[in-house]
Amino acid sequence: MPSASANYRTLLRTPGAVAFFIPAAVGRLGIAMTGIGIVWLVHARTGSYAAAGLVTGGFAVADAVAGPQIGRLVDRFGQARVLPCVLGGHAGAVALLLADAVPDLVAGVLIGATLPQLSALSAARWSALLSGERAAALPTAFALEALANGVSYMAGPALVSVLGAAGRPGAGVLLAATLVVGGGLALAAQRRTMPVLTGRAERRHAGRALLRSAFLRQVALGLALGVFFGAMQVSVAAYAVGRGTPDAAALLYFASNCTNLVGGWAYGAWRHGGSPRRRQAAAAACLALTSLPLTFLDASLAIGATLALTGLAVPVLLILTSVLTESSVPRAVLTQAFSWGNSASAAGIAGAAAVAGRVVDAGGAHGGFGVAAGAAVVMTVLALGGLRGSSPDAPKPPAPAEATAPNSGATRRDSSTNRGAVVGTYAGDSVALSGSARTDGRDGG
């Protein structure tokens, strides 16, 4: 078996791959900086973390609500037509915030509503580029996506915090917007690798797949995964502060994030056979088992080691959740489906942060870890529910013989019936990764 490094090098030699991957990675770095940048800027203006939290909450809710709608427009009109419009609105919203031209909450909502989910757009391009005989390279492609997202969410917030601590919070917001808009426009300019658009009749029929239990189960798993992440963020901080070592929180986060990247990299490079549904249930069960000791462990070393173990399980679960999302919907609504998963995860993070905060106030950090462990148990139950029956709710319609190309109006034949595309993202501390090859919606290796 070739080495993982060789797999990545071979992947990046695919014509057109680097041209869209680099701009998407740059844009995602800006996305990772946006939320924390708003916190620094609003706090600098008002002196209130409550005000900063309110604006950031509005930003997050708007992003979660608008993301699937932007995905729907992309599926209908194509990335080249939708992205420039969305990015223009995003630049305008950031300008309103920096100029203090409207209330901060209004500006925050507008920024969130115009933030494109570039990870979903990049995943759709990998799926189109590596179709047919090249589908075996998809695990490596989305492992690369995972590394890009993971690095973005470690480096981006740190960079913004450095600028904020230096007394230049506005510079962090401006830099984030520059990266988002610049990377997004460069991505939109790469027409060669854009997915082929489908016809109106197929989109109308495909939309019904978003109401099937196979897809809704994966959305629910994304929501539970968001709850896990949100509760972990609060609980780790509370644990470190409770022991009188607040700086230790950064080390604990770092341990989890590092193993997260390693786990995703390894899984994407060396994919195993078997049913994705069974692997998803196994990954959820492992996450639940590794999370439960956090509810009673006290020693910092034991907590760190346990968090590192959960970090290994998380990316595998993200991969498989996205694999099954991809296999449960037609390609005509693929971007929208991934966006719904991302939004569910973001909603789970936001809700869990509030709930876990109350639990921590009442029972300490171990209570917050209990919320995270409970979310992992829910994920296990949902994943086990997906094992009942080996086929989706309804067969997926075959891919159309012809589709309209978004950049020329000409028709091209999509010869691939085996496709794979995934993206798993969670807001605030994100890793996106996937790999699958499917055949007409059935479980595949």
Give the per-residue pLDDT at 343.
Answer: 86
CA distance 284 to 318: 10
Residue 64 CB partners (closer than 8 Å, separation 6+): 112, 342, 343, 344, 346, 347, 350
Any domain includes 348? yes
CA distance 403 to 125: 16
CA distance 344 to 183: 25
Q: Read off the CATH number of the domain in which 306 is found.
A: 1.20.1250.20
How many C-beta atoms lie closer than 10 Å to residue 54's C-beta?
16
Any domain includes 11? no
Any domain includes 184? yes
Any domain includes 7? no
Q: What confidence tens digit (pLDDT) does each residue in 122-138 have?
A: 888 887 888 777 777 77
Give the per-residue pLDDT at 327.
Answer: 77
Contact 207, 334 (CB under 8 A): no
Give the per-residue pLDDT at 93.
Answer: 97
Any domain includes 405? yes
Any domain includes 387? yes
CA distance 333 to 198: 9
Q: How confident is the model at residue 390 (pLDDT cuts 50, 70, 90)?
A: very low
Cα 154 from chain centroid (whole Å): 14
Work out the percent of the chain whose per-residue pLDDT is above 70: 83
- Please check the confidence at residue 427 and state whether its pLDDT lies above 90: no
Give the per-residue pLDDT at 409.
Answer: 37
Angle at 83 between CA 72 and CA 163, to 5 degrees: 120
Mean pLDDT, range 251-262, rounded to an integer: 84
- Please check the confidence at residue 438 and state whether its pLDDT lies above 60: no
SS3 161: helix
Q: Which residue has the higher pLDDT, 1 or 440?
A: 1
Q: What confidence tens digit (pLDDT) does each residue in 88-108 have?
A: 999 999 999 999 999 999 999
Mean pLDDT, range 408-435, rounded to an integer: 36
- Domain range for 341: 17-439
Beta bridge partners of 404: 411
Give the per-residue pLDDT at 2.
Answer: 53
Q: How many folded domains does the chain comprise?
A: 1
Give the per-residue pLDDT at 408.
Answer: 39
Beta bridge partners of 411: 404
pTM listed for this prediction:
0.76
Contact 284, 317 (CB under 8 A): yes
Q: What confidence tens digit (pLDDT) does each residue in 156-198 have?
A: 888 888 898 888 999 999 999 999 999 999 999 999 999 888 7
User: Would you state the torsion angle of the CA atoms of residues 235, 237, 242, 245, taken in this order, to the nearest 10 degrees?
Assistant: 150
CA Rg, the chain, in Å? 21
Give the per-residue pLDDT at 445.
Answer: 36
Element at 419 (helix H, strand E): strand 418-419
Q: What confidence tens digit (pLDDT) does each residue in 4-43 have?
A: 566 778 888 899 999 999 999 999 999 989 988 998 999 8
- Max mean pLDDT among 205-209, 307-311, 432-436 falls in 307-311
Any domain includes 118? yes
Any domain includes 156? yes
Q: How confident is the model at residue 428 (pLDDT cuts 50, 70, 90)?
A: very low
Q: What confidence tens digit (pLDDT) does each residue in 36-84 have?
A: 899 899 989 988 878 888 898 889 889 989 999 999 899 889 999 999 9
End-to-end distance of the chain based on CA atoms, in angstroms?
A: 17
